[in-house]
């Protein structure tokens, strides 16, 4: 099928030749035929050679590449792509695993589907569009998901009200079920249960990307006093409890998050009084707390969402970590994270280094953490590596 064409300025095809999946608006010389936002367009070089096709959008990223081959983006295309995504999760041991029914099935650029996120919670898939094109194609994608996943996915919830560009002239962005519709909302991660609030919760309802890091934390929890700062739905807390922690305190500024954490702890450990949760600002809590903790998790929200906020973000990470270094018990272990895409691994490490130096304590790096395999990084799109973590031993 012939799509409308966009033409690049001379020399602007280099990144596409290296399979980077974005075309910036500044690289475009000409757009033919006034494509609508979200329409598929063919991208041509200044020498009029086809180079890619993808979703067109008005904004700094003008085209998100779907294919470097000239092909039709139809039902078969979506099925092929979702089948590849599924095969990868099968290879990772995430599908058909009796202990775990929570995983990311589609991770945007990491699965060659820029702008699309799909998380699976037991039999419900939560689908999120971050581009106009994925929004326009949502029904075709839902059909393909149905065909590829069979019985595994019985309900598809579309949750894009807050992730789509507000400027795009899109009609009918409403959260809701595209298929099925189940009130059932308990899922399992590594044998632990949790409620997923896909209707109102952040992201798709749960932070699926910390699964392996939580499992690592469990191994360190035995006999320790744990502070889970920025707990959200309490993921790290119930792993710490299963790992035999002496006590676990969960803190989040959102009262709703604290309710979710309490519910999830109760679901896994009814009547267990080792856990307490506090709705409080992180900095206030870290200032007023004592020195009882010897295992601290710091998993804050992205301090920088854009490049221009980077400096302040780094200062924020330093300040936060400095408080933990100041208070953690000798022999304590700190799990510290950054999920800001614009903060590089080295930036983050420098921020934590500065905090450690301020405390004057002896600190060793035990593990360097990142996102799990169901959040793959496309080698041609290194920006996709967003989660960074350090596990530190503080003497
Ligand atoms: N660790 C969580 C994910 C954390 S998301 C998990 O494993 O699922 C970040 C959380 O930080 C959100 O729940 C948000 O409510 C909380 N938050 C944001 N600003 C905060 C602040 N200043 N103090 C405490 N919590 C904050």
Domains of the chain, first to last:
4-67 (2.30.130.10), 75-189 (3.30.750.80), 207-394 (3.40.50.150)
Ligand 1 atom 15 nearest Cα: 254
Q: How far is the CA of 206 from the centre of ligand 1 (A)?
A: 12
With CA atoms as reference, report the closest residue to 299 among 214, 385, 377, 356.
214
Q: Which of 23, 339, 369, 390 is catalytic?
A: 339
Ligand 1 atom 7 nearest Cα: 235
Q: What's the rounded Cα separation, in Å, for the pair 193 and 265?
A: 9
Which residues' Cβ are closer than 6 Å to ligand 1? 207, 210, 230-233, 235-236, 252-254, 257, 281-282, 299-301
Q: How far is the CA of 252 from the centre of ligand 1 (A)?
A: 5
With CA atoms as reference, report the closest residue to 375 among 210, 236, 153, 230.
210
Q: What pLDDT is recorded for position 307?
A: 79
Ligand 1 atom 8 nearest Cα: 207
Q: What pLDDT is recorded for position 360?
A: 96
**Closest atom of ligand 1 relative to the 232 alpha carbon:** 13
Q: How far is the CA of 70 from the centre of ligand 1 (A)?
A: 43
Alpha carbons within 13 A on the beta-carbon side of 234: 33
With CA atoms as reference, report the closest residue to 44 among 20, 61, 27.
27
Q: What's the rounded Cα separation, in Å, for the pair 271 and 263?
A: 12
Q: How far is the CA of 48 from the centre of ligand 1 (A)?
A: 49
Q: What's the rounded Cα separation, in Å, for the pair 22 and 55?
A: 10
Q: What pLDDT is recorded for position 35?
A: 96
pTM, whole model, 2 decimals? 0.95
Q: How far is the CA of 319 from the centre of ligand 1 (A)?
A: 16
Ligand 1 atom 13 nearest Cα: 232
Tens-digit pLDDT profile for the chain (395 aa)?
A: 789 999 999 999 999 999 999 999 999 999 999 999 999 999 999 999 999 999 999 999 999 999 999 999 999 999 999 999 999 999 999 999 999 999 999 999 999 999 999 999 999 999 999 999 999 999 999 999 999 999 999 999 999 888 887 655 666 678 899 999 987 789 999 999 999 887 777 777 889 999 999 999 999 999 999 999 999 999 999 999 999 999 999 999 999 999 999 999 999 999 999 999 999 999 999 999 999 999 999 999 998 878 788 999 999 999 999 999 999 999 999 999 999 999 999 999 999 999 999 999 999 999 999 999 999 999 999 999 999 999 999 99
Q: What is the CA radius of gyration of the chain?
A: 22
Q: What pLDDT is recorded for position 197?
A: 82
Q: What pLDDT is recorded for position 172?
A: 62
Q: Which of 210, 230, 287, 369 has most ligand 1 atoms within 8 Å of CB, for mutation? A: 230
339 catalytic? Reply is: yes
Q: Which of 196, 211, 300, 304 has most ligand 1 atoms within 8 Å of CB, for mutation? A: 300
């Amino acid at each position: 099928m012939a799509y409308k064409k966009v033409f690049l300025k001379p020399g602007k095809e280099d990144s596409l030749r290296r399979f980077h999946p974005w075309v910036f608006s500044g690289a475009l010389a000409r757009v033919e035929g006034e494509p609508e936002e979200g329409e598929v367009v063919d991208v041509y070089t200044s020498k009029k050679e086809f180079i890619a096709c993808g979703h067109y959008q008005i904004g700094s990223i003008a085209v998100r590449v779907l294919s470097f081959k000239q092909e039709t983006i139809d039902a078969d295309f979506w099925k092929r792509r979702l089948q590849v995504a599924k095969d990868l999760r099968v290879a990772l041991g995430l599908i058909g695993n009796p202990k775990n029914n929570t995983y990311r099935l589609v991770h945007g650029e990491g699965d060659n589907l820029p702008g699309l996120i799909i998380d699976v919670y037991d039999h419900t898939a939560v689908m999120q569009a971050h581009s106009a094109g994925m929004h326009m194609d949502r029904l075709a994608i839902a059909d393909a998901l149905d065909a590829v996943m069979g019985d595994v996915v019985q309900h598809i919830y579309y949750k894009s009200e807050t992730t789509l560009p507000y400027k795009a002239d899109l009609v009918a962005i409403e959260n809701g079920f595209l298929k099925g519709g189940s009130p059932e909302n308990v899922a399992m991660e590594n044998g632990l249960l949790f409620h997923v609030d896909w209707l109102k919760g952040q992201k798709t309802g749960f932070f699926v990307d910390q699964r392996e890091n939580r499992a690592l934390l469990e191994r360190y929890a035995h006999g320790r006093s744990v502070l889970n700062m920025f707990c959200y739905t309490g993921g790290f807390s119930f792993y710490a409890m299963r790992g035999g922690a002496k006590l676990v305190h969960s803190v989040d500024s959102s009262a709703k998050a604290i309710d979710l954490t309490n519910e999830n702890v109760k679901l896994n450990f009814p009547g267990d009084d080792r856990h307490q949760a506090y709705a409080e600002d992180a900095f206030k809590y870290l200032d007023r707390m004592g020195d009882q903790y010897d295992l601290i998790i710091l998993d804050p929200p992205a301090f920088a969402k854009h490049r221009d906020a980077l400096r302040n973000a780094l200062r924020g990470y330093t300040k936060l970590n400095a408080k933990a270094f100041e208070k953690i018990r000798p022999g304590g272990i700190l799990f510290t994270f950054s999920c800001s895409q614009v903060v590089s691994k080295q930036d983050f490490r420098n921020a934590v280094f500065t905090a450690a130096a301020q405390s004057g304590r002896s600190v060793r790096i035990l593990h360097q953490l990142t996102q799990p395999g169901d959040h793959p990084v496309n080698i041609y799109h290194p920006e996709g590596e967003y989660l960074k973590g350090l596990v530190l031993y503080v003497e």
